[in-house]
Amino acid sequence: MKLFLRIFLVCAILVNSNAAFSQKRNVIEGRTLNEIQKDTVLFVTGMLDKKYYEFPEIFAVVIDNKFRIKKTFSYPHRYFLAWASERNNVPFHSESFFLDNSTKTITVGLKNETVGNSSLEFTKKFIPYMLKGTNVVEIETYEYEHGLEFDSKLISYIRQNPDSYVALWFLIERFEDAGFSKVYEEAIDLFSDKMKTGKLWGIISKEIKNTRIRQNEKFPQFVLKDIDLKSEKIILPEKKIVLIDFWFSRCKPCLAQLPKLKEIYERFASTNKFEIIGISTDKAINIDLWKKRVSDNQLKWKSFLDENAFESDKEKIRSFPTNFLVDANGVVIKKNISLLDLEEFLNKNLK
């Protein structure tokens, strides 16, 4: 009798465990509107860092326009669509897909549609809120062409929806693209206590906190390489104003601005109150080209190499040129000042 009871209890536990496991398992049924006999659909991180993901890439074989995804997420994920057949030419498409444990179906093709809680918030609530009062029809266009306005609306949305993973993912994208901003530091703290206990919030919060180049704080003393490839700590010159310019040797906008930047340097460096520091993010294979650019353009300011963008990437400096204006105390006072505004600023402040 005792043996029977033990067997019964073990079986009951196994049945309940399997039932619980099956309840947690998430199956997403997918279909494509295109005529695809066989291909592989991928959901990828796009330009976002893989550290934010439990599954950096999800792939499923498409047969007769159908595919299936079996994943269980501990928090909603944002993905971008890619196809194995075109990945050499199109790494991924720009439209977002939000997947979570409520996601039941995905339709891809001329019209993309994801059925789930996060995707419903994204399409029915977030996009209409962000695009309201604008003439823009795509959220991606609004984000990249009207960044400051987008950030302001994003903060407003977070205040009203502090549990929103959709908003958190867009905050991550803005930070990854633009680097540190007081706006993002304020925004991350607006999320609910529930969100702050989650893994995703913890990752981005730490990233923002660990950023070293911050407005109204001292510029960090990176150890980089000088033009002779010797390691050297950046010590800011004792000038009233210093412009720190991040660039690389194959960056066309960087090279295009050099004549004007040289003109400004020649004019204001003579006052002994202004200096420029150039920091190249060139890869190891382009070091000789970097040296040639410095020589051919007769750059008179100090040039440093952040080889393979080791330090710059930590600071989310990924668009070029990027610059920081620093005062006599080594404190960052402006980011990405235009050369026209720089000239005006120096005229006013170096009299």
The domain ranges of the chain are 23-112, 118-210, 223-349
Predicted pLDDT at 14? 46
C-alpha dist (Å) from residue 91 to 44, 84, 88, 94, 139: 9, 9, 7, 10, 20
Average pLDDT over residues 304-325: 95
CA atoms within a 13 Å half-sphere pointing along the CA-CB vector of 79: 25
Predicted pLDDT at 47? 92
Average pLDDT over residues 189-214: 97
Decide if pLDDT at 43 tops 80: yes
Decide if pLDDT at 3 tops 90: no
Predicted pLDDT at 134? 96
The 3-state secondary structure of the chain reads: CHHHHHHHHHHHHHHHHHHHHHHHCCEEEEEECCCCCEEEEEEECCCCCHHHCCCCEEEEEEECCEEEEECCCCCCEEEEEEEHHHCCCCCCCCCEEEECCCCCEEEECCCCEEECHHHHHHHHHHHHHHHCCCCCCCHHHHHHHCHHHHHHHHHHHHHHCCCCHHHHHHHHHHHHHHCCCHHHHHHHCCCCHHHHCCHHHHHHHHHHHHCCCCCCCECCCCEEECCCCCEEECCCCCCCEEEEEEECCCCHHHHHHHHHHHHHHHHHHCCCCEEEEEEECCCHHHHHHHHHHHHHCCCCCEEEECHHHHHHHHCCCCCCCEEEEEECCCEEEEECCCHHHHHHHHHHHCC
φ/ψ bin of 112: left (φ > 0), alpha (ψ from -120 to 50), beta (otherwise): beta
Decide if pLDDT at 211 tops 50: yes
Decide if pLDDT at 19 tops 90: no
Contact 172, 45 (CB under 8 A): no
Average pLDDT over residues 277-281: 98
Reported as a pLDDT band with limits 50, 70 and 90, residue 54 is very high
Decide if pLDDT at 2 tops 60: no
Decide if pLDDT at 20 tops 50: no
61-102, pLDDT tens digit by residue? 999 899 999 999 999 999 999 999 998 899 999 999 999 999
Predicted pLDDT at 328? 95
Domain 23-112, CATH 2.60.40 — does that match?
yes
Predicted pLDDT at 15? 45
Predicted pLDDT at 22? 39
Counting residues of the chain whose pLDDT is more than 90, the rounded percentage is 86
Domain made up of 223-349: CATH architecture? 3-Layer(aba) Sandwich (3.40)
Decide if pLDDT at 111 tops 90: no
Reported as a pLDDT band with limits 50, 70 and 90, residue 197 is very high
Q: How far apart are CA 93 and CA 169, in angstroms?
A: 17
Decide if pLDDT at 306 tops 60: yes
Decide if pLDDT at 122 tops 50: yes
Average pLDDT over residues 183-195: 97
Q: How far apart are CA 300 and CA 278, in angstroms?
A: 10
Predicted pLDDT at 24? 57
28-37, pLDDT tens digit by residue? 999 998 777 7
Contact 185, 216 (CB under 8 A): no
Predicted pLDDT at 277? 98
Supply the pTM of this predicted model: 0.84
Predicted pLDDT at 36? 73
Higher pLDDT, 259 or 4: 259
* Beta-bridge partners for 115: 105
Sheet holding 231-233, edge to edge: 231-233, 223-225, 302-305, 274-280, 241-247, 322-327, 332-335
Counting residues of the chain whose pLDDT is more than 70, the rounded percentage is 93
